[in-house]
Structure 1
Amino acid sequence: MLLSKFVNFLINTKPLYAVMKVLAKRALKSSAEERGVSWDGHAKRLMSDAELKQIKDEMENKSMVYPSYYLQPFHAYDEGNLNWLAACEVEPATYAMAIRTFKSETDLTPMEAQAKLRKNITSAIKDYFATHSLQSPTNIVDVGCSTGISTRWLVNEFPGAKVTATDLSPHFLAVAELEERRHEREGGTRRVHYMHDKAENSVLETSSVDLMSFQFVMHECPGDAITNLVKESARVVRPGGVLCIVDNNPQSKTIQNLPPALFTLMKSTEPWSDEYYAYDIEQCLRDLGFTEVVTVCTDHRHRAILGIRAQ
């Protein structure tokens, strides 16, 4: 695609890329603030919380060797996900994503848009379990959990399940764990066990998980990393268990018909998007031992790919 090649040229031209990433973040931020989301206020409150750094020190695997693809700039942050600003801006950014997904539904509040996006995902998972006469999962892992937004939705939709969540960023995990500790201090019981873990080579036990979920992770990975993530999932998910991968849908007419300017800005924050959109994840699942592989459109921009680990 000529436009994609031209955008790659712009991204690889450092002065131009520096401008592009600022514009990309500004566009996302404006979407949130126009609908009443306090982007800067939320980030400042979190960054001023001294407990965050303490939690990070407790949770971080100091011997972690980060994959090279994870150390590149993305999402308009020079350090990718390995910094406090990125971690503290996740929540308003997810509101912006939901608002932009349902931008024609102007009566939706940011929280309602977020709820609709997440409910569509969990409904797709529940429908898949029901269609294949599978028992509701009792052991769930949310991989690439970020600050725990997707994880808490899984907790709410699958009450009683043991939920573990992993991420490669100790900064993101600290924000997730802070929320969990606040929940406990307010009288709630612990809902999630968070771990600083590398998804391609995890510490999770073999054949131990009923449902493994990746939500908005794969588009941030090159093709070989996607293969390795699915391969590791095939080790961890038990026979008869389910793998679910939620992300942008390459077949989406909305994404295919993005205006060139918006496409350019979006691509500038996602260095591996070319490889993601060209990668056949469904076939990868089949090749690595998953059956009943299907793709479900969760909305006009996103999809859920689901498969059952072969017996």
Structure 2
Amino acid sequence: MKVLAKQVRHNSAESRGVRWDGHVDNMRRQNEKELEDPAMSYPDYYLKPFHAYETGNLEWLAAYEVQPATYAMGIRTFKDKQHWSGDQCFVELRSRITDAIKSYHTRHGLPLPSRIADMGCSTGMSTQWLAEQFPQAAAITGLDLSPYFLAVAEERWVRSAPITYVHGLAEQSPFSDSSLDMVNFNFVIHECPQAAIESFIRESSRILRPGGVLAFVDNNPRSATIQNLPPAIFTLMKSTEPWSDEYYSFDLEAAMRAAGFKEVVTLETDHRHRCVMGIRP
């Protein structure tokens, strides 16, 4: 079932011109140098097989396949746009997310963020997108638990962007108290148990300045698309996501409010994804 789930993503990418296998072959020819903190102790929830990789995010193949898999996510979101390329689907998916974040700041009279943390940044695709969409930002830090992902992020980093990549835990981050304007989790928490999500919220409250914004972008459990998935497809999805049951049953908005965040809202960014945001008082 895991193999089939991965093949679905692979075929989706290839159908819109994303050369999955060619991309992986090219990545293999680059230097394999991990950016690992040798003192890192990985939490148990992270040491699970994810996305049909037996060692989860802690291997080179998983890192090499992030980019085509990310394009596949956009392609599957906009299946009706048959004339769109994988890149166009990616841009549309991400634009809707950052548009939601920008409109939230505007609605609440907040300046756009200058100091941003991209938690669970993977290979830096979301981090670089944030740098492009928030050109006023003075510092953007991409933090991830996979040294393999971070090595790829460093390799594809546009050096003109004010980006730093850090190997670390989102629940025990290296950031100082009240030091950030925005903490962003892009498609991270569906891969985490509820206890970890709660710890992410607490840590974000510590590191955000008053008036800073916490944003979670992920699958929308309430979307009609996800609610109406055929059981076989939903089972296929869950086969590569060990914590999906905990995510889909978690009341994220309530947890953020319980941690003290105000103006907590959920904005649908497309028919299957959401952005949940709140302001640190």
Pairwise TM-score range, normalised by the shorter structure: over 0.9
Does residue 43 of the first structure (1) align with residue 20 of the second (2)? no
Q: Secondary structure at the match of 1:103?
A: coil
Q: CA RMSD of the aligned region, Å?
A: 0.8
Q: Secondary structure at the match of 2:156?
A: helix
Structure-1 separation of matches of 2:234 and 2:28: 31
Does residue 74 of the first structure (1) align with residue 50 of the second (2)? yes
Does residue 229 of the first structure (1) align with residue 200 of the second (2)? yes
CA deviation digits over 1:220-274, x for unaligned, max 9? Answer: 0001111111111111111110000000000011011112221111110011000
1:134 aligned residue: 110
2:9 aligned residue: 28
Query: Which residues in structure 2 correspond to 1:1-311 (within 5 Å)?
Result: 20-50=1-31, 52-53=32-33, 56=34, 59-161=35-137, 162-180=139-157, 183-184=158-159, 189-310=160-281
Letter in 2 for 1:175: V
- C-alpha displacement at 1:190, in angstroms? 4.2
Q: Secondary structure at the match of 2:279?
A: strand
Letter in 2 for 1:38: R
Rg (Cα) greater in structure: 1
Gap regions ≥5 residues in structure 1: 1-19
The runs of at least 4 aligned residues of structure 1 exceeding 4 Å deviation read none
CA deviation digits over 1:164-218, x for unaligned, max 9? Answer: 11000000000001111xx34xxxx243100001111111111100011000000
TM-score with structure 1 setting the length: 0.89
Structure-2 separation of matches of 1:36 and 1:121: 24
> Taking every aligned residue pair, what percent have the same amino acid on both sides?
56
- How many pairs does the alignment contain? 280
> Which range moved further: 254-263 or 100-109?
254-263
Contact 2:16 2:84 in 1 (8 A): no
Structure-2 separation of matches of 1:75 and 1:237: 31
Structure-1 separation of matches of 2:14 and 2:171: 36
Letter in 2 for 1:70: Y
Q: Secondary structure at the match of 1:171?
A: helix
- C-alpha displacement at 1:90, in angstroms? 0.2
